[in-house]
Amino acid sequence: MAGITDPLLIDISNAFYTGNYQQCINLSEKIKKPSLEKDIFMYRSYLATNRYRVVLDEVPSSGELLPIRFFADYLLNKNKFADLIEILEKKIQSDDDCHIIYRVIAAIMYIHENQYEEALRILNGTTDLECQAIQVYIFLRISRLDLAKKILASMTEKNDDDTLTQLAQAWFNLELGGEKLQDAHYIFDDFKDKFAPSVLLLNNLAVCALGQQKFDEDTNGYLRDGLDKESNNYDLLVNFIFYSQQTDKNAEQVINRYLSMLRETCKNSELVEELAKKETEFDRLCQNYSFQEAEKITS
């Protein structure tokens, strides 16, 4: 969010953007005066920690916080996407002065639906740093590093020390890989020390290390510390499975345990769905083979 100058609000926004959601909530409660920006970060932190009902119970069905209420409603029932996004779109199109949170939430909802072009359309032309950071994220997802680099240059020119600019730079370096992985590591490690070791930062540190084929105790520590904070985190579980495959020849039991956790807590994830397809195909092949062998025996 652009234009934040209050020191406590800056701390609140930094806590949110670095994935320290409970810290963001705790800091928000220190502000007693009405503050829209504080409420935006606080309620988004509740959403990030899957406490959707808090948002639905406390956020009114009108006003500037409406997009956050809509996002909570969507996360509880994805079938409401079309109706909710239509209302947000109408507000954005009819009111040039509507709060930037309308565009942010609309874009994030489109991302959840894998509608990246629609998300980019919503964000097109905005100069808000968070909107630009989301654009960088999308361009990296669709492998348009050239366009991500252009947006990142705009962010850097505007404020190269801003947390969002630094995060976007780290994401870009992660995508580049190679020597740039160490540059990304420096940013995430600096934020870990400067703010707090959130699941988001720890996982990204692990990704940097795994990308550099560093299967050492530090990498193990990032993953385990992250899982201690959030034991069912999809990204951490996937990365820990990969780490275990590289470091332990007898890791089958551990890997199967984490795969079971993924199936239980992330049943709709791409990896779990792909595993289910492979298992179904394997079972089908086994049945066909058994049938063919039985025919040979009885013929």
φ, ψ at 115 (rounded to 5°): -100, 75
**What pLDDT, on a 0 to 100 scale, did the predictor assign at position 259?**
85
The mean pLDDT of 95-108, rounded to a whole number, is 95
CA–CA separation, 175 and 265 (whole Å): 27
- DSSP-assigned letter for residue 80: G
CA–CA separation, 201 and 190 (whole Å): 10
Categorize the per-residue pLDDT at 253 as very low, low, confident or very high, splitting at 50, 70 and 90. Answer: confident
pLDDT digits (tens, 9 = 90+) for 21-53: 999 999 999 999 999 999 999 999 999 999 999
Average pLDDT in the chain: 91
Mapped onto helix, strand or coil, the DSSP state of residue 214 is coil
- Neighbouring C-beta atoms of residue 278, cutoff 10 Å: 10
Categorize the per-residue pLDDT at 299 as very low, low, confident or very high, splitting at 50, 70 and 90. Answer: low
CA–CA separation, 196 and 20 (whole Å): 7
Its pTM stands at 0.89
CA–CA separation, 123 and 148 (whole Å): 13
**What pLDDT, on a 0 to 100 scale, did the predictor assign at position 5?**
78
